[in-house]
């Protein structure tokens, strides 16, 4: 991993939650970033981070002593956040994010957000670094629109679409997507902690994740859209229909995807498009970038959440089972780790790209 001399100081909003803990976990030893500020609800504020997560630290790795000692702040303490860090990752619930993220940006603090609040805001870029890095051009326009000087908001999309958006983006560029039908099987950790009650999810599948299907049908169009004038204009040339289900796996969102394109690609053309999908430019040497943004497996019964979610440090999208679809043209299975690629790892990769571009 590339290292730089002075680490950028990072704050985490919602630091004690499922995604916040994953940020802490993944940022231990990060060569560019150092966690120096943590924010949570008034139940946790005023305690040390170690006290605040006592009995509810869900990561496999032990909590480092330096992080244990950090004091937890309330979200409204903008003076402390300005003093303690250079930018923040927001892992707040969307109703809290709605109140605070703009105030942070207005106060000069860049925000990389996991919340859904600003995903449909037309001057807020929603970034998957391998797919639409050019949307970061929107930051300057956003600052001008809002009269902000240093602060801005960049968001990461919904966790489940990351299991298939890169494979679809690779195909859209070459063959122009027309129709997509996706059925997701989403892990329990996607609902935060404690999430879904065990009596509801064990030996069961819940065919509703509130708001998820709407997000899955809208967000890919914005990601594959383009910057025009003062806004990002969604690509409406294709349609997605989504079924989103909660299933009893702990981590890893699986997606079964059928699609058709303007002109039907061959199997070889699809596999080549995935194999040659570039990802972030290697010369940027981003520490969290996967070696392969899309990893295709020929094994007939893969990818599987338990076996494949951690591939390439949880940052690659594992794809398999490409076969012809008798209704649309082709179908495949995609998988990504929802709290890494789909949440904290995806946020870290965005921040690394911002750092490489000098925006944080």
State the residues that interact with ligand NAP by CB under 6 A. 14-20, 39-41, 43-44, 75, 91-94, 96, 114-116, 159, 189-190, 192-193, 338-339, 342-343
CB nearer to ligand NAP: pick between 205 and 291: 205
Q: Which residue is nearest to ligand NAP (CB)?
A: 17
219-232 per-residue burial string, b: 16 or more CB within 10 A, e: under 16: bbbbbbbebeeebb
CA distances from 277 to 10, 14, 121, 190, 349 (A): 31, 34, 28, 27, 17
Q: Supply the minimum distance, in Å, between the C-beta of residue 228 and ligand NAP.
A: 27
Sequence-distant (≥ 6) Cβ neighbours of residue 187 within 8 angstroms:
247, 249, 250, 251, 252, 253, 305, 338
Sequence-distant (≥ 6) Cβ neighbours of residue 247 within 8 angstroms:
185, 186, 187, 201, 205, 254
CB nearer to ligand NAP: pick between 12 and 270: 12
CB nearer to ligand NAP: pick between 15 and 349: 15
Q: Supply the minimum distance, in Å, between the C-beta of residue 40 and ligand NAP.
A: 3
**Catalytic hit among 135, 172, 253, 337:** 253
DSSP string, 9-69: EEEEETTTSHHHHHHHHHHTT-SSEEEEEEE--TTTTTSBHHHHTTT----SSPPPHHHHT
**Catalytic hit among 159, 172, 244, 261:** 159
Sign of the alpha-carbon dihedral angle for 105, 108, 109, 112: positive
Q: Supply the minimum distance, in Å, between the C-beta of residue 33 and ligand NAP.
A: 18
Q: Supply the minimum distance, in Å, between the C-beta of residue 169 and ligand NAP.
A: 19
Helix, strand, coil % (nearest 5) of the chain?
A: 35, 20, 45
Give yes or no: 243 in active site: no
- DSSP letter at 7? P
CB nearer to ligand NAP: pick between 297 and 318: 318
Give yes or no: 261 in active site: no
Q: Supply the minimum distance, in Å, between the C-beta of residue 185 and ligand NAP.
A: 14
CB nearer to ligand NAP: pick between 55 and 358: 55
**Residues designated catalytic:** 159, 253
């Amino acid at each position: 991993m590339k290292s730089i001399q002075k680490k950028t100081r990072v704050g985490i909003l919602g630091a004690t939650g499922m995604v916040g803990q994953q940020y802490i976990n993944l940022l231990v030893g990060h060569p560019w970033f150092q966690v120096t500020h943590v924010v949570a609800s008034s139940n946790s504020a005023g305690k040390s981070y170690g006290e605040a997560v006592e009995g509810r630290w869900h990561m496999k790795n032990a909590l480092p002593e330096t992080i244990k000692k950090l004091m937890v702040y309330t979200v409204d303490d903008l003076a402390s956040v300005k003093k303690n860090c250079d930018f923040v990752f927001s892992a707040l619930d969307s109703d809290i994010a709605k109140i605070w993220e703009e105030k942070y940006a207005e106060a000069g603090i860049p925000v990389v957000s996991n919340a859904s609040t600003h995903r449909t805001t037309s001057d807020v870029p929603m970034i998957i670094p391998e797919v639409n890095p050019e949307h970061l051009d929107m930051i300057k326009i956003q600052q001008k629109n809002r009269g902000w000087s240093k602060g801005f908001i960049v968001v990461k999309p919904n966790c489940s679409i990351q299991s298939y958006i890169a494979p679809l983006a690779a195909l859209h560029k070459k063959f122009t997507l027309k129709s997509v039908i996706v059925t997701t099987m989403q892990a329990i950790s996607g609902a935060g902690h404690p999430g879904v009650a065990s009596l509801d999810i064990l030996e069961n599948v819940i065919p509703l994740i509130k708001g998820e299907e709407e997000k899955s049908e809208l967000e890919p169009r914005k990601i594959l859209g383009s910057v025009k004038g003062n806004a990002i204009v969604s690509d409406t040339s294709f349609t997605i229909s989504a079924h989103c289900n909660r299933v009893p796996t702990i981590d890893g969102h699986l997606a079964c995807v059928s699609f058709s394109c303007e002109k039907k690609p061959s199997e070889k053309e699809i596999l080549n498009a995935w194999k040659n999908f570039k990802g972030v430019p290697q010369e940027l040497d981003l520490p969290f970038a996967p070696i392969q943004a899309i990893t295709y497996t020929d094994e007939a019964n893969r990818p599987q959440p338990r076996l494949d979610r951690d591939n390439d440090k949880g940052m690659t999208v594992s794809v398999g089972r490409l076969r012809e679809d008798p209704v649309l043209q082709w179908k495949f299975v995609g998988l990504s780790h929802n709290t890494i690629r789909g949440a904290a790892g995806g946020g870290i990769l965005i921040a690394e790209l911002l750092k490489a571009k000098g925006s944080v």
